[in-house]
Chain A
């Protein structure tokens, strides 16, 4: 089946993302409940919430199909999503899917608001459902890591070691959050994350990186300060922003290799 938007990287790769789960400070818009530190105990309610969401959206789409646009309030879609605990469980554990859920929600909302045929709305609904179930899978996986003690408690301040190569991982994670915030239609916040990530994280590694590959730094500088902010400002689709970020993340992978090489070659302090 072809999705209407590009899916986040497959959950099959999630095992490799254990390091991304770990030690990532999370700064959510709203309060994140303590439940995110007890995922296993909450899996049942998360699953119920996903089913509830899927049902509520299905009812809305059916009403739209049979009774017309005036019979539904599409703003309710956002309220449904923001009311469930699962929202912060997925936001703290698998940001790329979190972005896809928002993308799906707005896909349904915009299709209805633009009075698209019901068939088109159903396509968007299907994509949203897939993202929701994919999100539940990600949270279940994260719960397993948490049970094994491999998942750090969610906190607002980084307390673990931040080597330069680990900083690259955090930058990539922050860029995932940019897609998520853009998908939430929070463009200012997405832009602010880009700005903060550049100033507080990328600035810390680019000194080392420029000694390794000045051209790569030049390109990433442009990405952080021109290409990505403009994509957020001007793009109409989440996929366009995601493409820019995917391209940056590929460059950051290259940067990580170079930085690890530089770290190995660096002389000892004593």
Chain B
């Protein structure tokens, strides 16, 4: 019996809470409902946010809307690549300077750099209680998620032909598209290292490399799959959803592995660098049902609070079984890069 069918069956029987699976636990967990911005405290004062470049201007739209709703609030924003800003925050702290009050990162690995340095403030319990349990962290709040997927060409394969284990894919005869230089892929390899160990990961990389076609980015991977250049690819979910939105007849669908790095749910996240309640209240806006809904519908990101509709075309998270990984551990990128280099992948 396939595991996802198994979970669905158990859910119907009301016994999901007994499963040792992160998302199935979440289904039965006590989660506070998301708050509407209309019920949030008005923001008054000034904050400086370091914003990692992400979904084009969509995060900007959110920030503008928050400022528009709070005319007595002024937000200074410094923008840059997420990893560079994380390093800047750490370097500034070492120099005895704190210029940022908040850090909104597109990648949880960058968050880990800052939390590991002991610079982030604790998250209030009522705020983290709004998040799915597996996304509750002491010092940062995940904002939205993205899941690793296997986009596949529907004219070449059926879903049943795709292994549901990421490790088994290395032993399949499928042709594969990948973007090993891409940050999301490297986070995925880091998760594999954490879950499977370096030796197995190195062997997996070498096997995949023999049949892989390399693309610069993951949208390129998905487009390559759609063109039939390869059978399947490794990519975050939203590239496929967006391509299908712009090209409804695309020969493309999503498959998922089960309970391994192949279906890792990573997240963007926000943290406060000072204990000013204004910073915490600002974070509440990002977890509001309006912002979560906006990012789900416009950026195809996965909302991490209750009751918000998933991006169209993505199966319910209840039917997916991502591995349990402390996302801040993904900051440990150097060993991953070293491993990919020694394996000849980079």
Contact = CB atoms under 8 A, between A and B. Distances in A.
Contact of A211 (B79, B81, B246, B297): B246
Contacts of B341: none
Contact of A167 (B56, B219, B245): B56
Contact of B60 (A161, A212, A217): A161
Nearest to B297: A267
B312 to A, nearest CB: 12
A159 B78 contact: yes
Contacts of B122: none
Q: Is the interface of B mostly helix, strand, loop or mixed?
A: helix
Given A203-B219, A207-B219, A162 B246 contact: no
Interface in B281-297: 290-291, 294, 297
Contacts of A214: 243, 246-247, 250
Interface string A207-221: 110111110011001
Contact of A199 (B65, B78, B79, B217): B217
A72 B186 CA distance: 52
Contacts of A198: 216-217
B245 A157 contact: no
A263 B55 contact: no
A98 B320 CA distance: 54
A200 interface: yes
Nearest to A162: B79
Contacts of B290: 269-270
A221 B299 CA distance: 20
B238 interface: yes
25 contacts: A159-B77, A159-B79, A161-B60, A164-B56, A167-B57, A198-B217, A199-B216, A199-B217, A204-B53, A204-B54, A207-B56, A207-B239, A207-B300, A208-B56, A210-B246, A217-B246, A221-B216, A221-B223, A225-B220, A267-B298, A269-B61, A269-B65, A269-B294, A270-B37, A270-B68
B69 interface: yes
Nearest to B238: A207
B62 interface: yes
Interface string B242-285: 11011100100000000000000000000000000000000000
Given A158-B79, A159-B79, A164-B56, A270 B246 contact: no
Nearest to A206: B219
Q: Which of A165, A207, A210 gathers most chain B CB within 10 Å?
A: A207
Interface in A54-92: none
A269 B291 contact: yes
B56 A158 contact: no
Interface of A: 157-159, 161-167, 195, 198-200, 203-208, 210-214, 217-218, 221, 224-225, 263, 266-270
Contacts of A206: 219
Q: Which of A157, A217, A270 gathers most chain B CB within 10 Å?
A: A270
A198 to B, nearest CB: 6
Contacts of B61: 266, 269
Contact count band on B:
35 or more
B80 A162 contact: no
B185 interface: no
A266 B298 contact: yes
Contact of A212 (B246, B250, B294, B297): B246
Contacts of B62: 269
Interface string B59-100: 011101110110000000111110000000000000000000
A119 B18 CA distance: 88
A212 B81 CA distance: 26
B246 A164 contact: no
A84 to B, nearest CB: 31
Interface string B209-238: 000000111011001000000000000001
A207 B62 CA distance: 17
A210 B81 contact: no
Given A159-B77, A270-B37, A210 B243 contact: yes
Contacts of B77: 159, 161
Given A161-B60, A267-B297, A269-B290, A221 B245 contact: no
B223 A225 contact: no
B60 A162 contact: yes
Contacts of A161: 60, 64, 77
Contacts of A267: 294, 297-298
A142 to B, nearest CB: 23
A196 to B, nearest CB: 9
Nearest to B218: A203
Contacts of B245: 210-211
Contacts of A159: 77-79
Contacts of A268: 65
A224 B216 contact: yes
Interface string B180-217: 00100000000000000000000000000000000111
